[in-house]
A and B are shown apart, each in its own frame.
Chain A
């Protein structure tokens, strides 16, 4: 290959790589924990946000609630409608449900209502602040982490929101992760198969081992 065309090829390749890298480094922040659409059985929640270069983020954790209208009788006898919020019962949510909630659409492309495993559609959620916003700046030129362990976490549906802020504290990107926290399971699958051997075989094994030790 002649020199000028080789150089031309190299420039093109570098340009292509740069374009690809630019697409790759779209988001400066990513949520490592909790994994999006995951289910946790714990009373604590690990929040871990990875920043790929120097950036400032605002991390907030919300507990999702659903509202229901209730009729409240005021002192003067008039009846008012009030919205009362209560925590979402996450005990029956599956990973698919979480994916549907995270997608943010109530109906699919054909207009049909998306149903959760409970049989109902996706309700409107109210964001109740569980851990107030914290700002974190990654000072180093490389990767930085914001980590926090939240304790006293009751079962429910939680949303971690990470907003990347620019110099004027305006939000440039938002990354969200949904996680369902459930009660600790009582029954757990056994990890190890039981090794059962007849006692005679075991005796022979031990005998042989002793002889050849």
Chain B
């Protein structure tokens, strides 16, 4: 007895191809993490440009090597800077805040202070050159 050979059609079903491709597309869309840079923006003062600023429009923040802060010669806590600067800005909207750091001060402390200033919506922030 001879078995009859069945001839199967040789084409691949393509009906679900679109679904497979969609799945791939969605997989790649979901898995690619676009890591945007986040941070505190600041514009540095141009070199060699010195402006005379009236004393009443200037506030200085000094950061010591141990992370202690002096705001206008008064010791303050980092978390209080926001409130104090906000009050000062409400009194004088032309206020420029100058930040000066000790050379052994930690970068994290500096970023904390900048963060507080940003939270107080201070826009005129100046970085004082050390040793002057």
Indicate, yes or no, whether A interacts with B: no
Q: Which residues of B contact A (CB under 8 A)?
A: none
